[in-house]
Amino acid sequence: MAAEHNSAEQKRRLKEEKPLIHCITNHISINDCANAVLALGAKPIMAEHPEEVAEITAASRALAVNTGNISDARMQSMLISGREAKARHIPCVIDAVGAACSRLRLNWITEFIRECAPSVIKGNESELRALCGMTHHTKGIDSNEISSEEAIAQIAQKAAERFQAVILISGKTDIISDGTRTAFVRNGSELMPYVTGTGCMLNAVCGAFLSVGSAFESAAAAAVTMGLAGEYAEQAFRQTGSLSQFHHSLIDALFTMDEDYYSKYERIEYHE
C-alpha cells in the first residue's frame, strides 16, 4: 500500500519550524526527554505546575504526557493540560506507563483517555492489554507477554477502535495502528532496556513529530527514529563496551540522522 510515512521529511520540518512541545513526564527521564526533543530540532518545555500548565499547553504545538513515577500534582497537571489540548485541537500523546501494575494508574489513564481524547496512546503489550480489560501479566512496568506480532497487532487494532486513537505498542517490533492501517517497525537495539527512560524518550519524540504530522504518521516516525537511534548507539557500544556511551549516543543519533540514513536503514512494513 502507499504509505504517508516519511520520517526524514518530518525531522526536516522540526528543524525548520522549531515547534514548542509541552512534555509532562517523570523526573527519572525528564532530562533525556528534553534532550531528545532538542536533538530533533524542536523546543521542549517541561512545565508541570498545575497553575501554569494550561497556559503552557495553549502556547505549544503538541503535548506529551507520561505516567511513570506519578504524583498527585503531575496527575492534576496532566489532566488540565490534556483538557486544554483537546479544547484547542492540539495533538496529544499519552505514555501509559504502569497501567498494568497498579489500579491507581489504570483508573487515571482510563480517565485521561476518556476526558482528553489523546491522538496517540503508547504502551507495551501488557499496558495495552490492561487498558482494554484483557488478561495480562506484568513485572513492574515491563511486558511479560510473549505474543506473536499478529496477536499484538490485533490488540493495537482493537484498542485503536475502542479509544478512537492511534495505538503505538512498543516492543521488539513496534506496532502502530489506527484500526485500519497497521505499521510494523523492526528497527531497534536489545540494549535499550538497559538504559532507563528510552520508552519515555520515544513518547517525547512522538510528541515532537505530532507537531508536524498526522497521528499515524508521527507514531510511525517516532518508532523508526528511536529504533534507528538505538541501532546507531549500539555501534558505539560495540566499539567501546560502555553502556554510558550507548546512552549518550542515542542523543547523537537523533541529532545527526539525515534523509540518506533513514532511507538506508529504516525497516517498516504496512498492512491493512
Which DSSP string corresponds to 91-153? -EEEE-TTTTT-HHHHHHHHHHHHHH--SEEEE-HHHHHHHTT----EETTEE-----HHHHH
Determine the Cα–Cα distance for residues 148 and 116; give it in Å rounded to an integer.
31
Asked if residue 18 has pLDDT above 50, the reply is yes
Assign 272 a pLDDT band (cuts: 50, 70, 90).
confident
Render pLDDT for 196-248 as a digit per residue (tens, 0 to 9).
999 999 999 999 999 999 999 999 999 999 999 999 999 999 999 999 999 99
* Residue of 31, 36, 29 whose CA lies nearest to 11: 36
Give the chain's radius of gyration (CA, Å).
17
pTM across the whole model: 0.94
Determine the Cα–Cα distance for residues 67 and 2; give it in Å rounded to an integer.
35
Asked if residue 1 has pLDDT above 70, the reply is no
State residue 157 phi and psi, 5-degree precision: -65, -45
* Superfamily of the domain at 7-271: Ribokinase (3.40.1190.20)
Instruction: Calculate the average pLDDT of the chain.
Output: 94
